[in-house]
Amino acid sequence: MEKYAIIGGHPLHGEVEIGGAKNAALAILAAAVMTDDPVTIENVPDVMDTNVLLQAMERIGVKIERPERHTVKMDSSDIYDCIIKDEYMKKIRASYYMVGALLGKYKRAEVPLPGGCNIGIRAIDQHIKGFKALGAKVSVSHGSIVAEAKELRGTHIFMDKVSVGATINIMMAATMATGKTIIENVAKEPHVVDLANFLNSMGANIKGAGTDVIRIKGVERLHSTVYTIIPDQIEAGTFMMAAAATRGDITVRNVIPKHLECITAKLQEIGCRIYEYDDAVRIVAKDPLSSTQVKTLPYPGFPTDMQPQMTVVLGLAQGTSIVTESIFDNRFKYADELVRMGAQVKVESNTAIITGVERYSGATISAPDLRAGAALALAAMAAEGETLIEDIHYIERGYEDFDTKLRGLGAKISKVKTERDLTKFRFQIAN
């Protein structure tokens, strides 16, 4: 199994190019099957989650070409099945977007339910509520979610909980329902808006994405489009936190600064200097960092996907910080690993109390999930000495070329498989 070997203690400097948003890509790739016309999607990140989804779509007859690494051309005119069997699909949460997409287009879908998740229980009751309100029969059978309808009819849905996934799924199904659907209390994340823009570019009639209420007039068919996915807010935020953790100076390029405001505000609050440009943000973290309080919230609040990275930074800030996780119930699993690196973090229920330390020290640790894995890599780059991070496949689910991009910023990081690789890495760093 590959690991990251990292020798820390070096401030990161330079520029890094941010890729397309993974979570937008997953929704948009799924939605692309809703037309029989050819679709071209640009700025698709080349990460495990998107690649698994594309493979599963190929297995039901979608023709996929990748003329360039980040461009996907899809032709869904020959889909021959609404049943996704792919075992791998259980491993990616977004597999359930195929339910909304196939149900909308073919009025039937059967997709394996995502398995257990490392960040806590991830219910799907709001998805089911939405599909049922549109007139579908929904059941869970042999580990799969099965949804079917003679006809989907527009309706008024009030979501009991703000859910990114349910908003996306219901929006897709309602796009091809007859009549008008109003969905209230929806998620406002940038990728919800990106999906609505993508569907509209195929001829859908969706208004209000980015506000609390989405209004959809169903259409009979969708058509061809060429669409570019938005930059990844969380990848950008992770590199911003890398600057803060290592006391560096990083410019993240190809971003939408507006999407980063919740992250920018917190970094400024703790003492980082931030410079915003049209499509770039520079973070300078030369001054001592101070403590703060952070609570994760749906967008435009502080993202749960940035919570571990923020905690890593606050672990190096003067004073006591409090981080409250209000979206998922098990997102502090990495705290034990961070403590092994010398952090002072105490977790009580959904709150972490963090007393800043001067520096972390390298250790052998493992990535418990995607964002926590990335956060631990940031801790390793700030730490004194060598860190080995195991289970980096979690990180590779959502960060493209993570180690390469970090090396471009001066990080001493390498992917190692064998003892020989590790010895070679140590030798190269020492010489």
The residues carrying an active-site annotation are 117
Pairing of the two strands 144-148 and 137-141: antiparallel
Distance in Å, CB of 277 to ligand EPZ, minimum: 26
Q: Is the peptide bond before 288 cis (omega within 30 degrees of 0)?
A: no
Q: How far apart are CA 186 and CA 213, in angstroms?
A: 6
At closest approach, how far in Å is the CB of 329 from ligand EPZ? 7
Q: Is the CB of 237 or the CB of 248 nearer to ligand EPZ? A: 237
Shorter beta-carbon distance to ligand EPZ: residue 394 or 425: 394
Of the pair 70, 397, the CB lying nearest ligand EPZ is at 397
Q: What's the distance, Cα to Cα, between the start and end of the chain in Å?
A: 26
Nearest approach, Cβ of 337 to ligand EPZ (angstroms)?
A: 17
**Tokens 């990848």 correspond to what residue?**
235
Residue nearest to ligand EPZ (CB): 165
When the beta carbons of 98 and 317 are compared against ligand EPZ, the nearer one is 98
The number of beta carbons lying within 10 Å of the beta carbon of residue 278 is: 7
Shortest CB 165 distance to ligand EPZ, Å: 3
3-state helix, strand, coil in the chain (%, to 5): 35, 25, 35
Q: Could you tell me the sign of the dihedral formed by the alpha carbons of 42, 47, 50, 52, in that order?
A: positive
Least Cα distance to 367 among 120, 16, 119, 121 occurs for 119
Give the helix/strand (H/E) hosting 141. Answer: strand 137-141
| Site residues for ligand EPZ per CB under 6 A | 23, 26, 93-94, 121-127, 161, 163-166, 187, 304-305, 327-328, 370-371, 398
Contacts of 258 (CB under 8 A, 6+ apart): none
Phi, psi of 283 (to 5 degrees): -120, 125
According to DSSP, the residues that pair with 348 across neighbouring strands are 351
CA atoms 45, 47, 53, 58: torsion sign: positive
Give the nearest distance from C-beta 234 to ligand EPZ in angstroms: 6
Q: How far is the CB of 303 from ligand EPZ (least distance, A)?
A: 6
**DSSP secondary structure, 344-362, as one string:** EEEEETTEEEEE--S--B-
Rank residues 127 and 247 by Cβ distance to ligand EPZ and give the closer one: 127
Nearer to ligand EPZ, 7 or 157 (CB): 157
Whichever of 89 and 94 has its CB closer to ligand EPZ, that residue is 94
**In whole angstroms, how close is the CB of 24 to ligand EPZ at the nearest point?**
8
Q: At what angle do helices 97-106 and 48-58 cross, to 10 degrees?
A: 30
